[in-house]
Structure 1
Amino acid sequence: MFDYVHRQLQKDSERRGFPRRHLALAASTLIALGFSLLLLPGENAEAKRTAIPLNLDIQSSVAPAEPLQPLPEPEEIWDEVIVQSGDSLSSIFARAKLTPQDLHEVLSTAPKSVALNKVRPGQKVGFQISDSGKLHALSLELDKINSLVFERGVTGFETTEVSKTPDIRSRVASATITSSLYKAAEDAGVEDNIIMEMAGIFGGVIDFVYDVRKNDHFIVIYEEQYLQGEYIGSGQILAAQYFNQGRSYEAYRFINDEGFVDYFSETGESMRKAFLRAPLDFTRISSGFNPNRLHPVFKTVRPHNGIDYAAPRGTPVYAAGDGRVVESGYSKGNGNYIFVKHGESYVTKYLHLHKRAVSTGERVRQREVIGWVGSTGYATGPHLHYEFLVNGVHRNPATIVNKLPPPTRVSKTEMPAFQQQIGSLQLQLKTYAAQRNYSSGG
């Protein structure tokens, strides 16, 4: 019936010229009307209602659901081992149930993988292993702060340097010297590296071999580093004060506009003089500068054109100042020796070394280790023979440093920033000294 109605309407439309969309609208209306007539209730209406299933499309009236968010990545899980005495990289990989192929891939493809060949007892090594048992990533703890992470990439393992940021706290420590600087520092709970650094800071104004006296005092303000509340080591010295033989010396850490770090006195004068007063730490003078000394080996009067510092074999020897190594070699009399030229006028000489750490032509910086104390050549025991020449003439190393050009200073433009930075540190030193009754007079 509906086909018949549609055909009749189409003929009538063509005869009258109705548009097709009007024809379609009319047809739809008639079809809907027909459906309505079929669904009108009759005598057997209840039976018809139960016989026709009601299958409504509910989703057609509900807004589309939001797309599901991806689940978060599972937390990275590291299997960690601590390197034991006698461990090798192969044995560590074997304990982690990894194959020699995994080890070869890391060592042959990862930048800085050479660090893995230098593992030492106490270091932590972490592994991430895939479900298939292959090595996915490897971590090596260099120290409490720095680590290397080797992660599998497309063409091999890639290396990432990871550094933790420790919490920094400042600490003030002080002591009075009764026997030695080391013992005083130990009694005050100051670590060896801090006391050595302090000696280096004051090395241009105090000879810690020759000048230290009983009842000297020191105060040092320095950083301590913590990770998650655990102390992991000391940091930089911020300020220090040393009371020696009626004089007080202060030193403050300062970073200039160019990013260089140095220590300066309260007036802005650099603590780093042109030359150290002594080229090694905390030993004793066995023979001073003496042009008429009786030679201990040949038993004849021969000039002693330097200072002999008696020290255990292996004690580090420092370059007294910046310069260039003009000779590094061995001779029958001098043993292992090093000569360093500083500018045009000055030369320092280091004799009887056990070993040399620099070669001829190398540039060296002040306080850089250039060798180690020994007893090579004409020497009766382990010591360093140290000479200082000015324009080719031997001078007494203990006194010549007082006659050398003055050190650098904080520039005028940076002086306001310097004074502002050290203000609170000066107050701390002054307060601490007053509390302990420290004074230049002892």
Structure 2
Amino acid sequence: MSQPDHGPARKQRFKERLSVLHDTALHRKLKHHLPAAFNERWTRRHWIHASLFATIGALAATIVPGFSNAIDLPVPTSHSTLALPLPPLSLARRGETPGDSWQIQRVERGQTLSDLFAAAGVPASTMQRVLDHPGTREVLTRLKPGTEIAFDLPVNGTLRSIRFDRDANHRVELSLQGDQIREKVMQRASTTRTVVASGEITSSLYTAARRAGLSPSAIATMTDEIFKYDIDFSKDLQPGDRFSVVLDETWREGERIDTGKILAATFQTGGKTHTGFRFERNGKSEYFDISGRPLKKSFIRSPIQFARLSSNFGSRRHPILGTMRMHKGVDYAARTGTPIMAAGDARVQFAGTQRGYGNVVILDHGRGHTTLYGHMSRLGPYRTGQRVAQGQVIGYVGSTGMSTGPHLHYEFRVNGVHRNPLSVTMPPPEPLKGAELVAFRAQTAPAMARIQGMEELIYADAGNRKPAATRTASAAATPAPAGKRG
């Protein structure tokens, strides 16, 4: 007897078995390809690594969107300006606060006062008001190049004050207040300090002196006033010659304004040391050597600078009369109008016209010494009886009287006897004596000590080597108000 057919149920059971077999095969395949960590029991190390990776993933998920947002922001292609209202400028700021708007103008060569006011934007009418103030026109119309003038101009452009220097020691400030001008005069304080400068000549005296810090005026004092009678600076100087100077420097507002007052100086040339010290005698400052004898000689050899000797002293044929006669002086050929200087300090004995001399001046130098200057084109400002100092201009070269051309006829007489001006022994100047000599030595000793100390410092090893450069050193002195020295 046959069994009944359970077809549908049998098919269902077959499908279920196939499914189990399929799942088992898949599991085995995955187990074969997956890492051991997924097929085995996890250890503590596996859990630590899993936690670390999970933390990194969480951080990445948090940060990356932020970058994405920043990159996606649109870049502005234009900008706009917003005008903000500002508070109005106060009246004090606009016109009443002094000293907040000074403009300084420095006078240049060829510049006029009108140019300065125009450059500052000040109208000519205001300039005229300033010039009408007493004592202002004389100063402002004679401004030299380099002089400073300051304008106080607030933002409204109206001149409030003007400031300028009346002289070396006074500064003036004029304040324009309505129709009035108020004047304030301020003292310009200055200080004086004593310094020592020393140098050695390698190429020229001027170069060495400038390297030592001497101003052109100080160099001129040394060459044209102190040592001009003893040193021929155009012929005598040689490399290796030395000089040292003690001088007063005047300073004002941080600027050195004067260095020409030399108190003492030494000059070594030709194996000889020349000295000069400033000392006041009879109310007049002069220079003396270390023994107290004046450096200034009683007479200068030639009353004309850079003149040519055209006729000597002695017997000759007169160029006009044609006869042999004594030429009682010397002639210097020069252009008409060349200044003629007094050969020494003197009193004018005669000034006028005198026979063949034409326009002539005769000077009495005392102790029987007189000099004569003839053929002048015109006389100087001195008249008979007046005193004249050595080097002062007493007349000008000409061709008046018995003369064949412009020249100076110069005579030198001792007790009325004519002497050759080129060879006569000039009388020495009177030296200091008594109390003046004592005061001179007391005054010059510190200056000489400073010079010796400086030279010992610089030239102590001069026998082994030459100084590398000219040097300058300040003397230990406390600044004092200018004008305290003689």
TM-score where L is the length of structure 2? 0.55
When residues 228 and 160 of structure 1 are mapped into structure 2, their CA distance, relative to the original with a 3 A threshold, is closer
Q: Which gives a bigger RCO, structure 1 or 2 (Cα 8 Å, sep 6+)?
A: 2
Secondary structure in 2 matching 1:402:
coil
In the TM superposition, residue 267 of structure 1 has moved relative to its aligned partner by 1.6
CA distance in 1, matches of 2:460, 2:410: 40
CA distance in 2, matches of 1:434, 1:384: 51
CA distance in 2, matches of 1:157, 1:237: 41
Q: Tell me whether 394-403 or 221-230 shows the greater mean CA deviation.
A: 221-230
- Name the counterpart of 2:259: 234
The answer to whether structure 1 residue 175 and structure 2 residue 201 are counterparts is yes
Unaligned runs of 5+ in 1: 1-72, 438-442
The answer to whether structure 1 residue 125 and structure 2 residue 146 are counterparts is no
CA distance in 1, matches of 2:320, 2:106: 53
Paired residues of 1:111 and 1:158 also in contact (CA < 8 A): no
Secondary structure in 1 matching 2:315:
coil
In the TM superposition, residue 104 of structure 1 has moved relative to its aligned partner by 3.9
Secondary structure in 1 matching 2:146:
coil
- Name the counterpart of 1:60: none
- Name the counterpart of 1:266: 290
Secondary structure in 1 matching 2:443:
helix
- Give the AA of the match of 2:293: E
Q: Kindly name which structure, 1 or 2, has the bigger radius of gyration based on alpha carbons.
A: 2
- Give the AA of the match of 2:314: P
- Name the counterpart of 1:253: 278
Q: Tell me whether 104-113 or 266-275 shows the greater mean CA deviation.
A: 104-113
The answer to whether structure 1 residue 387 and structure 2 residue 408 are counterparts is no
- Name the counterpart of 1:320: 343
The answer to whether structure 1 residue 292 and structure 2 residue 315 are counterparts is yes
Secondary structure in 1 matching 2:292:
coil
When residues 100 and 346 of structure 1 are mapped into structure 2, their CA distance, relative to the original with a 3 A threshold, is farther
For this pair of structures, how many residues does the alignment match? 354
When residues 254 and 333 of structure 1 are mapped into structure 2, their CA distance, relative to the original with a 3 A threshold, is same
Secondary structure in 1 matching 2:314:
coil
Secondary structure in 2 matching 1:253:
strand
In the TM superposition, residue 251 of structure 1 has moved relative to its aligned partner by 0.9
The answer to whether structure 1 residue 349 and structure 2 residue 366 are counterparts is no
CA distance in 2, matches of 1:244, 1:293: 41
When residues 194 and 233 of structure 1 are mapped into structure 2, their CA distance, relative to the original with a 3 A threshold, is same
Paired residues of 1:279 and 1:367 also in contact (CA < 8 A): no
In the TM superposition, residue 140 of structure 1 has moved relative to its aligned partner by 3.8
Q: Tell me whether 318-327 or 291-300 shows the greater mean CA deviation.
A: 291-300
Paired residues of 1:207 and 1:277 also in contact (CA < 8 A): no
- Name the counterpart of 1:79: 103
- Give the AA of the match of 2:389: Q
2:190 aligned to which of 151, 165, 170: 165
Note the 1:26-425 alignment, pairs <5 A. Answer: 74-75=98-99, 78-111=102-135, 113-128=137-152, 133-134=158-159, 136-140=161-165, 148-149=171-172, 151=174, 158=183, 160=185, 162-165=187-190, 168=193, 169-175=195-201, 184-186=205-207, 188-189=209-210, 192-202=216-226, 205-206=229-230, 208=232, 213=236, 215=238, 217=241, 219-221=243-245, 222-223=247-248, 234-242=259-267, 247-255=272-280, 260-279=284-303, 283=306, 286-287=309-310, 290-293=313-316, 303-308=326-331, 317-328=340-351, 338-343=361-366, 345-351=368-374, 357-361=380-384, 363-370=386-393, 374=397, 376-377=399-400, 378=403, 385-400=409-424, 402-404=426-428, 406-409=430-433, 411-425=436-450
- Give the AA of the match of 2:294: S
TM-score where L is the length of structure 1? 0.60
Tell me the percent identity: 25
Q: Tell me whether 357-366 or 233-242 shows the greater mean CA deviation.
A: 357-366
CA distance in 2, matches of 1:207, 1:287: 25
Secondary structure in 1 matching 2:116:
helix
